[in-house]
């Protein structure tokens, strides 16, 4: 059965978006660990690995290494969108110290707790803050961050334009956005567009 056809009819669009958000949140709530070592082995260097506590490695769920390209500098404020277990927030904190800070946001409380514990274990707990929040409604004021990083997160949103507008709002003039993510280059079949597993995966 094809589910979630609400997006075809404009008036049910919001309900459909709620359905996708709930499916994504459920999937990340239920996720077990295991793939993190393989993700880190493929995407992070030995030098980066040495800065990471085991918990941050275990919970690595990203698709790239945005910090490596973000050109972060001491004193900067960085937003990590969908910070998960905190792997990129921890690496970013090493670049913005002294004087800078990293704010991670995520919708899953357990992820936020893991990120806080992992940042503390990495010795960067004082320069990292992890907030509950949605990328579609970022709980930060306008013009408040120098750089945004994100790793495998924006593809999960049913409102990608809204997310990009939010990132633009919170970035200071001249701010930078570095994201690693999944892209589709052609139209996806309806069965994929309406699959909870495809949205979450």
Ligand X SMILES: C[S@@+](CC[C@H](N)C(=O)[O-])C[C@H]1O[C@@H](n2cnc3c(N)ncnc32)[C@H](O)[C@@H]1O
Q: 96 or 115, CB closer to ligand X?
A: 115
Interacting residue with ligand X among 4, 100, 152, 158 (CB under 6 A):
152
DSSP-assigned states of every residue in 126-169: GGEEEEE-BTTB-SS-TT-EEEEEEES-GGG-S-HHHHHHHHHH
Read off the DSSP letter of residue 174.
Answer: E
Interacting residue with ligand X among 40, 57, 79, 135 (CB under 6 A):
135
Contact 172, 145 (CB under 8 A): yes
In the complex, minimum distance from the CB of residue 88 to ligand X, in angstroms, rounded to a whole number: 6
Give phi and psi for 151, each to the nearest 5.
-135, 100
For residues 76 and 78, what is the distance between their CA atoms, to the nearest angstrom? 6
Interacting residue with ligand X among 62, 100, 158, 175 (CB under 6 A):
62
Q: 26 or 75, CB closer to ligand X?
A: 26
Q: 158 or 175, CB closer to ligand X?
A: 158
In the complex, minimum distance from the CB of residue 86 to ligand X, in angstroms, rounded to a whole number: 8
List binders of ligand X among 87-126 (CB under 6 A). 87-88, 105-108, 111
Instruction: Note the helical H segments in 31-153.
Output: 36-43, 46-50, 54-58, 66-69, 87-96, 109-121
Residue 53 binds ligand X (CB under 6 A): no
Contact 23, 200 (CB under 8 A): yes
Contact letters for ligand X, residues 173-192 (x by CB under 6 A): --------------------
CA 79 vs CA 8, 86, 121, 131, 145: distances in Å:
34, 12, 20, 10, 7
Residue 167 binds ligand X (CB under 6 A): no
Residue 55 binds ligand X (CB under 6 A): no
For residues 85 and 46, what is the distance between their CA atoms, to the nearest angstrom? 19
Q: 9 or 110, CB closer to ligand X?
A: 110
Residue 127 binds ligand X (CB under 6 A): no
In the complex, minimum distance from the CB of residue 153 to ligand X, in angstroms, rounded to a whole number: 4
Q: Name the residues that contact ligand X, by CB under 6 A.
A: 24, 28, 60-62, 82-85, 87-88, 105-108, 111, 134-136, 151-153, 156-157
């Amino acid at each position: 059965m094809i589910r979630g056809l609400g997006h075809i009819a404009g008036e049910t669009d919001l309900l459909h978006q709620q359905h996708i958000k709930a499916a994504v949140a459920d999937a990340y709530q239920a996720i077990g660990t295991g793939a993190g070592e393989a993700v880190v082995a493929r995407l992070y260097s030995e030098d980066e690995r040495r800065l990471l506590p085991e918990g941050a490695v275990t919970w690595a769920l990203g698709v790239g290494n945005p910090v490596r390209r973000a050109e972060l500098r001491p004193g900067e404020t960085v937003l990590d969108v969908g910070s998960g277990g905190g792997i990129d927030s921890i690496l970013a904190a090493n670049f913005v110290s002294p004087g800078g800070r990293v704010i991670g946001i995520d919708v899953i409380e357990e992820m936020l707790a893991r990120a806080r514990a992992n940042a503390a274990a990495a010795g960067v707990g004082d320069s990292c803050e992890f907030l509950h929040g949605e990328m579609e409604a970022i709980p930060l004021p306008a013009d408040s961050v120098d750089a945004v990083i994100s790793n495998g997160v924006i593809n999960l949103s049913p409102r990608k334009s809204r997310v990009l507008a939010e990132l633009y709002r919170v970035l200071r003039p001249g701010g930078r956005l570095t994201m690693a993510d999944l892209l589709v280059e052609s139209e996806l079949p309806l069965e994929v567009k309406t699959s909870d597993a495809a949205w979450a995966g």
